[in-house]
Amino acid sequence: MASETYGIISLLPALLAIVLTLVSRQVLLSLFSGIWIGATILMGWNPVVGAAHSLQLVIDNITASFNSKLLLFTFLSGAMLGMIFLSGGMKALADRIISRIRTRRQAELGTSILGMLIFVDSYASTMITGSVMRPITDKFDISREKLAYLLDSTTSPVVSVAVVSTWVGFEVGLIKEQFAALGIERSAFVVFLQSIPFRFYSLLAVALVFIVVITGWNFGPMKQAEKRAKETGKVLRDDADPLLETREEDIVTPDHVDSRWWYFAAPIVALVTVTGLGLLTSGGWPGVAPVEALKGAATADAILWGVFSACALLLAILVGHARVELEDISDSIFEGFKMVMFPVAVLSLAWTIGSVSEALGVGPYVVSVAEGVITPELLPAVVFLAAAIISFSIGTSWGTMGIMFPVAVPLAFNLGAPLPGAIGAILTGSLFGDHCSPISDTTVLSSMFAGADHVDHVNTQIPYAVLCGVVATGLFLASGYGVSPPPLLAAGVFALVAAAYGLSQHTTVTMPTVFGSDAD
């Protein structure tokens, strides 16, 4: 079914879900509406059969191996957070960090740098950075929308270009597969490295974070959110519906517990260490080189082992050192499960609508339209835009890469276009939707661990993402005509600085108003 295309109709489910989400703010109903419309189209426009097929599609996506492991990872993350709240470890660590952070800017810089340092996996980075920094950014009246933006913009964009991460094996594997099919005798890993300077969108997204943090120039809906937080101390707008209800008051640390900062730090170190070792060993290390091991790593298994190890260590700390009753621990775990129920539902439906869009052939349709205007000079820009549209529509960067590589790489090879530029355009264009689509799992997780309203996060982040996307498109156009990446990146950063300043000074119409939000 995925090889077929329904033409422009293939865009309808994702567009409907996105528009309904932004207008009604009812995420679950909007996502299921898109799924139902897509299933109805697939079932010959029969709405009754489409409804039944919608339920089956949800079941299929929930039970898919990778997805079920990610859902279990999310539940265990909730359990871990519940036990951390019970231990008081997060508050103890936050108090230590707060004593060294004295300004809003330092809090935002700390969040951004921590997000970049945990570059092994985007899910782990989002969870750890959000959990550590949320109480600190709250202390300095930084809006949850801003925190979610910082998380989203320093996790996937960084992990996608890191040479040691859960992404590199998948990306190098796709390159190697196409090289083998085309008879290209070049190292896939070397070309991966050569493509990094061409990841214009990813690099500009990170650059914009530091521009905004250092200068304090906010624009669009984010400007409203930050003004509200500064002036009223409300890190969430009135009537906001945070994706993760961080109700620490429901999990009270027992009076006899002397909370230590390492009650939080130790399980986090365990999570990162076990995840990293899991990635390497599942790929065959030490029998093969680390880079080769990452190509065959079992990503979902590794992050699952990591979070389970963190939970086990926390349980040992609570029982053995903090002397907490098992009943209290059990209650905290169930409170943690309750925190993540809504994100689990959103993730399940987001995956499903992505699979519906793929079944309708949104990828082949966008590619077929793009192929009609491609020349060697235009190829990088067209490939980037096609990947960006597809990734925004289906909410997955890896799925977009799978769609784009078999088309764009042979096309670039036959046209004689430089392969590092074309591959860089695929990889960074695929990240666009993963970075800002409301149906992307990483966007959902950023809202979740920031404790932000999901629609507010999407509304406030899209202008920043679109700005980076517009500038990146211009850079890809120039690269197609032979301009090398270093001066292009310098020009891109300059353009971001100028645009951010101009927008921060003159933004008058904001996206929440356009989409009918009642934001302050």
Measured distance CA(9)–CA(20) in Å, rounded: 17
**What DSSP element (H or E) covers 471?**
helix 454-480
400-429 mean pLDDT: 86
Q: What is the mean pLDDT of the chain?
A: 84
Measured distance CA(150)–CA(214) in Å, rounded: 13
Measured CA distances, 413 to 161, 193, 363, 382 (Å): 23, 18, 20, 15
Task: Dig out the tokens for 255 from the structure.
Answer: 């009076």
The pLDDT score that the predictor gives to residue 45 is 94
pTM: 0.73
Return the CA Rg of the chain: 22
Measured distance CA(449)–CA(340) in Å, rounded: 10
Cα dihedral 359, 362, 364, 365 sign: positive
Residue percentage of the chain with pLDDT more than 90 = 38
Phi first, then psi, for residue 168 (nearest 5°) are -60, -40
Closest of 149, 200, 195 to residue 175, by C-alpha: 195
Measured distance CA(444)–CA(461) in Å, rounded: 12
Worst-scoring range by mean pLDDT, 327-336, 380-389, 407-416, 484-493? 407-416
The pLDDT score that the predictor gives to residue 2 is 43
The pLDDT score that the predictor gives to residue 286 is 87
79-94 mean pLDDT: 84
Worst-scoring range by mean pLDDT, 139-153, 230-244, 467-481? 230-244
Could you give the 3-state DSSP secondary structure of residue 288?
coil
* 263-267, 280-284, 314-318 — most confident range: 314-318
Residue 76 scores a pLDDT above 70 = yes
Residue 118 scores a pLDDT above 90 = no
Residue 72 scores a pLDDT above 50 = yes
Residue 141 scores a pLDDT above 60 = yes
Residue 93 scores a pLDDT above 80 = no
Q: Are 198 and 105 in contact (CB under 8 A)?
A: no
Could you give the 3-state DSSP secondary structure of residue 44?
coil
* 45-49, 95-99, 294-298 — most confident range: 45-49
18-27 mean pLDDT: 72
Dump pLDDT digits (tens) for 226-281.
999 999 999 999 888 886 665 555 678 888 988 898 998 898 888 888 888 888 89
Residue percentage of the chain with pLDDT more than 70 = 90
Per-residue pLDDT band at 94 (split at 50, 70, 90): confident
Closest of 229, 235, 215, 207 to residue 503, by C-alpha: 215
Sequence letter at residue 11: L
